């Protein structure tokens, strides 16, 4: 839940890098909450709750994806591959699942290395 809340706090921050675990935990909780809102909408015979939730997490999801792509030294604009059915989705999932680029890149310091340094101090 910590990763989900962190992504929501940084909802408009498209700069920097985000670890693979942080991104995929955000996606996991997003799927769970989407399922729950969908079930609630089915029970109440509306689509209001799931629609409001989907709109509320749209920008945080884009910013988390951009930070994750930055961690692999790619531009956040690669997320436009979501618009290309099947092939684009597969390529983007591979990009999002790749390990962090070692060391510092154009988007900042490696969050894994920063976490390791702060843990040893």
| pLDDT at site 113 | 81
The yes-or-no verdict on residue 64 having pLDDT over 90 is yes
State the DSSP H helix or E strand holding residue 48, giving kind and residue range, or none if neither.
helix 48-71
| pLDDT at site 121 | 59
Sketch the domain layout of the chain as residue ranges.
Answer: 2-120
Burial of 70 (0-12, 13-18, 19+ CB in 10 A): buried
pTM above 0.75, yes or no: yes
Tens digits of residue pLDDT in 8-50: 999 889 999 999 999 999 999 999 999 999 999 999 999 999 9
**SS3 call for 100:** coil
Q: How far apart are CA 120 and CA 51, in angstroms?
A: 44
Tens digits of residue pLDDT in 86-96: 999 999 999 99
Contact predicate 25/42, CB 8 Å: no
Which two three-digit tokens encode residue 60? Answer: 């945080």
Residue 32 dihedral angles phi and psi, to the nearest 5°: -60, -50
The yes-or-no verdict on residue 120 having pLDDT over 70 is no
Q: How far apart are CA 111 and CA 68, in angstroms?
A: 11
């Amino acid at each position: 839940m910590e990763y989900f809340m962190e992504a929501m706090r940084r909802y408009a921050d498209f700069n920097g890098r985000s670890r693979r675990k942080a991104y995929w935990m955000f996606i996991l909780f997003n799927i769970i909450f989407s399922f729950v809102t969908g079930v609630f909408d089915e029970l109440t015979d509306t689509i209001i709750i799931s629609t409001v939730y989907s709109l509320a997490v749209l920008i945080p999801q884009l910013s988390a994806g951009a930070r994750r792509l930055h961690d692999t030294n790619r531009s956040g604009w690669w997320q436009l591959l979501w618009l290309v059915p099947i092939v684009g989705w597969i390529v983007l999932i591979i990009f999002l699942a790749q390990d962090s680029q070692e060391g510092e890149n154009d988007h900042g310091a490696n969050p894994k290395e920063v976490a390791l340094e702060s843990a040893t101090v």
